[in-house]
Every structure is written in C-alpha cells, then in structure tokens.
C-alpha cells in the first residue's frame, strides 16, 4: 500500500499561518480523493478538508475561508494551507484517503497559542 508521511506543522500564534504537507508513496495517491484530518486531545479524529482526483474541494464549516487543500499529482503530495489559525485548531494533523483509508502516518503537530 505504501506510506503517508506528514510534515510542516509547528507552533504559531493566534492568526498565524502554516502549510503542512503529506507525501504518499506506492499506489495510495492515484485516482482517489485525499483528505486532511485532525485529532485534538480527548476528541475524535475529524475530516477537515478533502480534494477529489479531479481537484474538487470540500471543507468542514469551522475551517472554510481559512484553509485551502491542494495536491501535486506528480509529487504525490497533498498540502493544507492554513491561514488565520485559532487556538481551537490545535491538533495533530493527518492525511489519508477519504474512503478505504490506509495505514495512518505519524501526523504533524499544529499548536496555536493565544
């Protein structure tokens, strides 16, 4: 199946920006919708943004207008541009297929300080 490797998280202040990326190997990436998920302490993992193989995007209401998902098929990489970050965005961020998820990567920590 291959692997998913997330990177690019970090610590930012309220209102700051980050751009995590997710590199996929093997056959994970091709012709499937990919998503960015997040899991905050004590909460369930949630899908926050998705992008179809054709480039259509969708977002959970709490990040609409602030986050932008994109993909580079040649590089087998998915990105999440996060602007106007808020303390409630603090979580570990993961990527995976939207359906038929494969093994989860280690995620990347995003911490937003107030």
pLDDT tens for 10-56 read: 999 999 999 999 999 877 777 899 999 999 999 999 999 999 999 99
pLDDT tens for 58-113 read: 999 999 999 999 999 899 999 999 999 999 999 999 999 999 899 999 999 999 99
pLDDT at residue 46, as a whole number = 97
Pairing of strands 57-59, 46-51: antiparallel
pLDDT at residue 87, as a whole number = 97
Q: What angle do CA 24, 109, 16 make, to 5 degrees?
A: 105
pLDDT at residue 1, as a whole number = 64
Per-residue burial over 90-102, b if 16 or more Cβ lie within 10 Å, else e, is bbbbbbbbeeeeb
């Amino acid at each position: 199946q291959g692997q998913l490797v997330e990177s690019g998280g970090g610590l930012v202040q309220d209102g700051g920006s980050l751009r995590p990326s997710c590199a996929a190997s093997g056959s994970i990436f091709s012709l499937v919708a990919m998503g960015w998920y997040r899991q905050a302490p004590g909460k369930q993992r949630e899908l926050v943004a998705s992008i179809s193989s054709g480039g259509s995007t969708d977002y959970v209401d709490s990040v609409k207008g602030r986050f932008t998902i994109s993909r580079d098929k040649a590089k087998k990489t998915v990105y999440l541009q996060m602007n106007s970050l808020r303390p409630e965005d603090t979580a570990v961020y993961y990527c995976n297929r939207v359906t038929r998820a494969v093994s989860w990567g280690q995620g990347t920590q995003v911490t937003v300080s107030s």
